[in-house]
Structure 1
């Protein structure tokens, strides 16, 4: 029995040793810190991969960059090769300060292409993490590029350009014009007075936005309070709480607007739009759509004229909408033109104009 027990113990220890050898990891951590003098005219660019970029501002005429790198591989030879292929390049001239991560320094073109292919599939046997912490003046022109990592930014008062893939942007008040490109990522911004956003397969949340030009695809957009929204959309979902003006072209997109204050100009195909509350003193609403469901809710205190041109559409109006004229303009296409007024006829032209082909129109009061 004693010999049997020893054999079982030995087999168990050998098995555990095999498991440990199979899961053993080789790691190395490195740190780098650089400082540069800059002027107010210096354009600052930071480009990174596989980690975070954290930006903090200070009242100095200099930039400090702290980089922390962590590499983990299953084999020592692979660890050494990974470390040899990672480098950091710094360029400092009168007008530019550029800091960038290089992750294929000693790789052939074929190896670089294979690496990019693996990145696309999000496959990597080892682990590489490269984190930047940057201190800089708050008003310089700043460009940030990051792949497979997040960007953190507090209040910033200079021109800003952000290119982010497979990561999230978290920013507070971006006080000057900002251009942001998102691919398979997300953005949470407190305030954006003047912005251009290109969003692909991403989630965007903005608490306050002024002038916002948006080009988006397969994204979810949530705006809490927005003044002017422009752009184009494809296969998106919009949730907007307070909106002053919107001018947008969209295909296969859905819109939920809690409150519209002034103006809407929408060209929609195969989508859905609902405005839960349209204020009494709105300026005008123009919607030209195809195979789209339109639901608009007006306050009984409103007073305006309207025009509806519909082709093969399902139209439903609350009794307060008075149709004064109804004409079939194209019998073959079943196109009907309606003129009327809400509550009572007003001076001037039509504040509400709807042109639809297919889909449905629901005009209601709240």
Structure 2
């Protein structure tokens, strides 16, 4: 038994030694007083930006790879370079690869991670593919373009928040003045104020909505748990997706509902001011209260959908 055990240990040692591991670290530090914007153009890597109270922009990029041959692993890692360009008040980071040395043969694992800490008022502009993006908070302008990766935003309270996401899920804790475009991914929001959304092939879950909102939905369901007293209007165009909205009864709403091959349902206490029902289409004007003085506006145009309002 003793010799068998030692033989197993020896085999494990040989196997472990045969697997080459390598890592490359890039560290940079800038004064945040020199820049009001950070721009990143990257692919095949995750990006995380965190706010902090210091006066620096701290950047750490870690590339790691595992493989069967040390030379192949090292060559792959060393084929990745980063350009840091100070373009006026914008700090630009671009990932560049030496295509002649970019060889994946014999490499089992590869990862690249950006970890950035900076003041929350620095504007963020990221274009990332094949990797996740995590924003742990910002009060500056936020622009994200992400392909084949998930996206998380803790809070984004700047004057402009624009996100273009494809083939990835999006989760937002708090955001205002948002312009979102999502394809082939789900959207989960806790609090939103002033949302413009265009989404295809993904479901939407929103805990609380306020402000002025416009939603265009194709092939996805919408669920809104509650609406704030600060909600001004909500316009929805949905095709091939169901809608459920709660919290409407506590406010004065005028609802204009139009459907093609769609069904609408609402509280029996609400007042139907007008309705037109055809073979495949229907139109309703519904009030949540008898004589609303200054009602909030809800407009829904639905096609091949079920709509439930509460």
TM-score class, shorter-chain normalisation, is 0.7 to 0.9
Distance (whole Å) between structure 2 residues aligned to residue 97 and residue 246 of structure 1: 33
Give the one of 79, 99, 107 matched to 1:125. 107
Q: Does 1:235 align with 2:201?
A: yes
Q: Does 1:207 align with 2:173?
A: yes
Q: How does 1:1-366 map to 2 (within 5 A)?
A: 20=14, 24-36=18-30, 39-41=33-35, 43-55=37-49, 57=52, 59-60=54-55, 63-92=57-86, 94-104=88-98, 106-107=100-101, 125-136=107-118, 138=119, 156-193=120-157, 194-244=160-210, 245-261=212-228, 262=231, 263-297=233-267, 300=269, 306-312=273-279, 344=290
Q: CA deviation at 1:181?
A: 2.3
Distance (whole Å) between structure 2 residues aligned to residue 29 and residue 356 of structure 1: 53
TM-score w.r.t. structure 1 length?
Answer: 0.65
Distance (whole Å) between structure 2 residues aligned to residue 363 and residue 348 of structure 1: 20
Aligned length: 301
Q: Could you report, residue by residue, the CA deviation over 1:281-302 in whole angstroms, capped at 9, with x for unpaired residues?
A: 344434444344444458x5x6
SS in 1 for 2:251: coil
Q: Could you report, residue by residue, the CA deviation over 1:294-320 in whole angstroms, capped at 9, with x for unpaired residues?
A: 44458x5x6x6633344335xxxxxxx
Larger Rg: 1
| Stretch deviating more after TM superposition (199-208 or 25-34) | 25-34
Distance (whole Å) between structure 2 residues aligned to residue 239 and residue 305 of structure 1: 28
Q: Could you report, residue by residue, the CA deviation over 1:142-200 in whole angstroms, capped at 9, with x for unpaired residues?
A: xxxxxxxxxxxxxx212222333343333333212212223332233222234222222
Q: Could you report, residue by residue, the CA deviation over 1:54-93 in whole angstroms, capped at 9, with x for unpaired residues?
A: 4454543x54444444343312332343244233333345
Distance (whole Å) between structure 1 residues aligned to residue 39 and residue 12 of structure 2: 47
Structure 2 residue runs without a partner (length 5+): none
Q: CA deviation at 1:339?
A: 6.4
TM-score w.r.t. structure 2 length?
Answer: 0.75
Q: CA deviation at 1:18?
A: 10
CA distance 1:283–1:100, shift in 2 (3 Å): same
- Whether the 8 Å contact between 1:71 and 1:128 is mirrored in structure 2 is yes
Structure 1 residue runs without a partner (length 5+): 1-7, 139-155, 314-334
- Whether the 8 Å contact between 1:25 and 1:74 is mirrored in structure 2 is yes
Distance (whole Å) between structure 2 residues aligned to residue 31 and residue 360 of structure 1: 53
Q: RMSD in angstroms over aligned alpha carbons?
A: 4.1
RCO higher in structure (CA 8 A, sep ≥6): 2
